[in-house]
Chain A
Amino acid sequence: MALWCRGVQRILVDVRPIFSLFQTIGNTEYSSLSSVSRPEGLGSDEAKEAKTVEGHKPIVPLECRFVYPEFLPDPRLDHRNSLREKLERMDMLNRRAHIDIPEFYVGSILAVTSSNSHAPEKSSRFVGICIQRGGCGLRASFILRNVIDHQGVEMFYEMYSPVVQKIEVLRLEKRLDNELLYLRDALPEYSTFQLDMEPEFLPEGAPVPVNPIKVKLKPRPWLERWERQELKGVQDLGLPERFYKRAAEVARPWEKYDLMKEYRASIPAEEQEEIFVEVYSQLQQLEVMRKKMKRRRTFVRPKKMG
């Protein structure tokens, strides 16, 4: 009888796991591992960010969010619609199956071939440095800049537009800033790239190089107040003291501590993982297929000797 009662009680406890959790939280009995001290390293953020929650390892690599930033939705809460985002992601993958949209960053040099009904050849090719990337989903876009015949030209491309026929990365590299809009006010030599530039290949598996170049700007007037933005890729601006004083007065140093502001401008890690888990396997397949196609093209049949 006593055995029987104990057994029944145990069954009772098992049936209510959630409430027991709350009770233990309320009694402050809930204690798990003490805070594990993780090694400090400003560069090894990726290692730290892969925090294990009960032994859960991230399924997709953390670099996905930099390689495929347009798969992440617009962080504005008003603009979120999970169904639309899912459909957009499906469409994006469909488009990527037809055309190779390579990995590139702001500061990489691209050559884009697009169909142009106004041109006699019905297609046009533009080579330039990517100065800005924007948009989410199918509206993902980038701006290429080049100086042709001493005239600065910029082209705005939408990545997933069916008009775009080919995107080649001639030089894959990153710069010290996220946006290179200051190239408009820089000396033209920093934005000049040959239209017949040959693609430069990186060894397989190498990290994307960061170009630490510091650009020299033309004398004022400028399009924007560059001294007020924290630009790392620009040489010393050489302005009078009053500019820097005013910049300090106008600066908002508290914004870097504003936790909710940065949250509203970002997508949380769990959501990122959910999205990339959906999408990553297909992207990997496409990558693998592309590599195979490349190898096939470079294969040269051995010629008969004699």
Chain B
Amino acid sequence: MNCKGRMDSKFMLMADLLCDKAATTTAMLREKLKTCTVEYITNNFDVESIWLNVIMKRLSMWRNFPELMNVGRTFHTSSVCGHIIKLTRLRVVDNSEIGKQAMAEGKPPKCIHIYNKKGVGTIGDKVLVAVKGEKKKGIIVGVKQNQPSLIPKFDSNNVVLIDDTGTPLGTRIHVPIPQILRTILKEKNVVKGVDYTKLLALATRFV
């Protein structure tokens, strides 16, 4: 049997256990080997020398390439996609009382439901938001996510609080609003009793 060939996995496991401490010296290893139980007994070769070989190889790997011994302990993360989903914190951009207080306190509203078939909100989607212990509805007016050409991308996820009929709670929106909101909200006006145009009237600037 070729003792330089691939070793059994149990050998490797035992060798790893012995190598756990990087400061182990050869003498200490030899002592440990004497006390270890050797399960595999063969005729042709010296088991001790093979163990020592394996262990010394592992030790040298540890000493020279410590970062490689952590193989398998990393995990893969995807890049930030900037979606507005449940529990996303949003920034209130109108001058409603409840919104201003929440932002001043440092407890921004959290999105708890998105009113579309996908659980992901973008510009123009109606969301249910938890503000200062209350549930309020809001319209997303700006997102951090990368947008297609000619649609502006903002540095924060902005929301304007509204009530069920679509009338905003505040009286002015001091940040710029994307032009595309005009078209989106016009389409949403199809539902009876809902009028989003008041929101557009509050906007000071369109981008």
Contact = CB atoms under 8 A, between A and B. Distances in A.
A and B in contact, CB less than 8 Å: yes
Interface of A: 114, 116-119, 124, 126, 141, 148-158, 161, 163, 184
21 contacts: A114-B150, A116-B150, A118-B180, A119-B179, A119-B182, A149-B174, A149-B175, A149-B176, A150-B174, A151-B155, A151-B156, A151-B176, A152-B154, A152-B155, A153-B153, A153-B176, A154-B153, A155-B207, A156-B147, A157-B150, A163-B150
B204 interface: yes
B64 to A, nearest CB: 16
Contact of A148 (B147, B158, B182, B205): B205
* Main SS at interface, chain A: strand
A149 B141 CA distance: 15
A283 B180 CA distance: 35
B152 A155 contact: yes
Interface in B131-162: 142, 146-156, 158
A52 to B, nearest CB: 44
Nearest to A158: B149
A291 B12 CA distance: 76
A184 B156 CA distance: 11
Contacts of A150: 174-175
* Main SS at interface, chain B: loop
Given A116-B179, A118-B179, A119-B179, A149 B205 contact: yes
Nearest to A117: B183
B65 to A, nearest CB: 14
B153 A155 contact: yes
Given A148-B175, A152-B154, 6 more contacts: A119-B206, A124-B206, A150-B175, A153-B154, A155-B151, A156-B149
Interface string B153-189: 1111010000000000000001110011111000000
